[in-house]
Amino acid sequence: MEPEKMEIIEKPQFTRKVFWDNPYLTELKAKITSVEDNNITLNQTIFYAFSGGQESDEGTIGGNHVLQAKKEGKNIIYTIESGKCYNVGDEVTISIDWARRYELMKLHFAAEIVLELMYKKFPGIEKLGAHIAFNKARIDFKYDGSLADILSEIEKVANEIISNKVVVKSDFSDIENERRYWEITGFAQVPCGGTHIKNTGEIGRVELKRKTAGKGKERIEINL
């Protein structure tokens, strides 16, 4: 008896995040899976949407500037410049501003290293927030006193990790719920859904500055 032919459903139920499989891709063809005014979703994407303190990418979809990229569950909704009407199934090319994204990736990972070193130096220290922009990153800690004295030590160790050109592994810890982590063997394994470089050497060099961010709050600013 011949088995019944199964219909293959091509359209996934959510946006496949190619920026995780390959964070170095700058262009990708994708199919539009939904259209609502100038908000569209795609079957796959390289265009990162703001989350975990890392800013959204900038770039174009089908040649139209992306005004906003917003994570919604496992989907990413892109608001594009109005002008062109799209239909579900249309093929478009996604193109991201690579210079900007690469700076974001390097700064993001520099911040990851600094944060881990801070956790090792001050076990239990509370992170109040973090922001990664393309030209600088910052992490705020709950801390009574000044981090001025230990900053050069943190900077020195961070730069050792960078100049040692250490391999960074990134993978899923839970595919179904899209949970990701990065790992440096013998250093740390950290949950994070951002885009990560493959080798710490890519960062080049890091410079840390202390900023006061209010009473009992210390800010470390990270520059490349």
Taking Cα atoms as reference points, which of 53, 41, 157, 136 lies closest to residue 94?
41
Calpha distance 224→207 (Å, rounded): 6
Residue whose Cβ sits closest to Zn ion? 192
Calpha distance 43→11 (Å, rounded): 7
Least CB distance from residue 4 to Zn ion, whole Å? Answer: 45
Of 41 and 54, nearer to Zn ion (C-beta) is 54
Which residues make Cβ contacts (< 8 Å) with residue 157, sequence separation at least 6?
117
Least CB distance from residue 139 to Zn ion, whole Å? Answer: 12
> How many residues form the binding site for Zn ion (CB under 5 A)?
2
Least CB distance from residue 107 to Zn ion, whole Å? Answer: 11
Identify residues 152-211 at the interface with Zn ion (CB under 5 A).
Answer: 192, 194
Of 62 and 194, nearer to Zn ion (C-beta) is 194
Angle between helix 148-163 and helix 98-121 axes, rounded to 10 deg:
120
Question: Looking up tokens 């600088």, which residue turns up?
Answer: 136
Of 114 and 192, nearer to Zn ion (C-beta) is 192
Residue pair 76/193 in contact (Cβ under 8 Å)? The answer is: no
59 binds Zn ion (CB under 5 A): no
Residues contributing to the site for Zn ion (CB under 5 A)? 192, 194
